[in-house]
């Protein structure tokens, strides 16, 4: 009997297994090349199947992309929501949120690359900017309560929420490629800027084009030493 006839037949994938394989392959391609330059032909080729198999499972490139994005959004939203809903001191929540985003990037680099790319097929509720906006809305309520306790105008909370969340998100995009220093150190610096900035927040901030207020503060600091 020839070696060919003795070779065990290759097991066929179930429909669920094939779907997951196609999603894994597509996820890597979208992260590497983006949506526009990824083709159904390339997805099929890397998965070792014919193009009709991809169409059968997802209806085309747009369909598989939508599933990939939806899964990543759920994963990141879950991580950030968990950090915020755990409660505690506001500074601790800022720390947890920064670490949650950086941990997601660390564990799901391809997924984060896909989320931060612009895509013509992304829905209004399925873009990175809309996701960050949802997180900022949650932070807005937390800040509003803290502002009331500190005698600050809670109506400005949405502005500060967008700034805080945007700062963390953009730092995450930078760290995706830099990967140095370690995520704990990056998170500590984020919290250092965010929390120390909030701790000295002014009730009625205004622009100081001539730098007079800054000069007065510096003079007082020298006198106090």
Give the per-residue pLDDT at 8.
Answer: 45
Give the per-residue pLDDT at 201.
Answer: 84
The upper half-sphere exposure of residue 28, i.e. CA atoms within 13 Å in the direction of its Cβ, equals 10
CB atoms within 10 A of CB 41: 12
Whether residue 101 contacts residue 80, with contact meaning beta carbons closer than 8 Å, is answered with yes
Give the per-residue pLDDT at 220.
Answer: 56
Give the per-residue pLDDT at 78.
Answer: 87
Give the per-residue pLDDT at 223.
Answer: 52
> pLDDT tens, 87-102?
788 788 889 989 999 9
Whether omega before 181 lies within 30 degrees of 0, making that bond cis, reads yes
Identify the DSSP state of 121.
T
Give the per-residue pLDDT at 123.
Answer: 52
Whether residue 154 contacts residue 128, with contact meaning beta carbons closer than 8 Å, is answered with no
Write down the pTM of the prediction: 0.77
CATH of 68-200, picked from 1.10.357.10, 3.20.20.70, 1.20.140.10, 1.10.8.60, is: 1.10.357.10
Q: List, run by run, the mean pLDDT of 10-residue segments along the chain (225 residues).
A: 49 90 96 93 96 96 92 88 81 89 93 79 62 82 82 91 89 92 95 87 84 59 51
CB atoms within 10 A of CB 3: 6
Give the per-residue pLDDT at 5.
Answer: 47
Phi (first) and psi of residue 14, to 5 degrees:
-75, 170
Check residue 207 and give left, alpha or beta (phi > 0: left; psi -120 to 50: alpha).
beta
Q: Rounded to an integer, what distance in angstroms lies between the CA atom of residue 112 and that of residue 116?
A: 6
Sign of the torsion angle spanned by Cα atoms 185, 186, 191, 194: positive
**How deeply is 181 buried, as exposed, middle or buried, from its count of CB atoms within 10 A (0-12, 13-18, 19+)?**
exposed
Whether residue 45 contacts residue 123, with contact meaning beta carbons closer than 8 Å, is answered with no
Give the per-residue pLDDT at 11.
Answer: 61
């Amino acid at each position: 009997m020839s070696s060919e006839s003795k070779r065990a037949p290759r097991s066929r994938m179930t429909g669920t297994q094939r779907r997951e394989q196609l999603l894994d392959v597509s996820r890597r391609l979208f992260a590497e090349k983006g949506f526009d330059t990824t083709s159904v032909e390339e997805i099929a080729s890397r998965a070792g199947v014919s193009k009709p198999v991809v169409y059968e499972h997802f209806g085309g490139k747009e369909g598989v992309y939508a599933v990939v994005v939806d899964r990543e959004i759920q994963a990141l939203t879950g991580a950030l929501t968990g950090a915020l809903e755990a409660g505690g001191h506001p500074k601790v929540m800022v720390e947890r949120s920064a670490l949650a985003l950086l941990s997601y990037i660390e564990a799901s680099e391809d997924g984060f690359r896909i989320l931060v790319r612009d895509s013509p097929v992304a829905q209004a509720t399925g873009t990175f900017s809309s996701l960050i906006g949802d997180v900022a809305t949650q932070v807005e309520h937390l800040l509003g309560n803290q502002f009331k306790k500190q005698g600050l105008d809670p109506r400005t909370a949405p502005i500060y929420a967008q700034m805080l969340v945007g700062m963390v998100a953009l730092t995450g995009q930078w760290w995706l490629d830099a990967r140095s220093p370690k995520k704990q150190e990056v998170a500590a610096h984020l919290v250092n800027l965010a929390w120390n900035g909030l701790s000295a927040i002014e009730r009625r901030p205004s622009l100081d084009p001539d730098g007079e207020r800054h000069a007065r503060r510096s003079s007082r600091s020298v006198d106090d030493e």
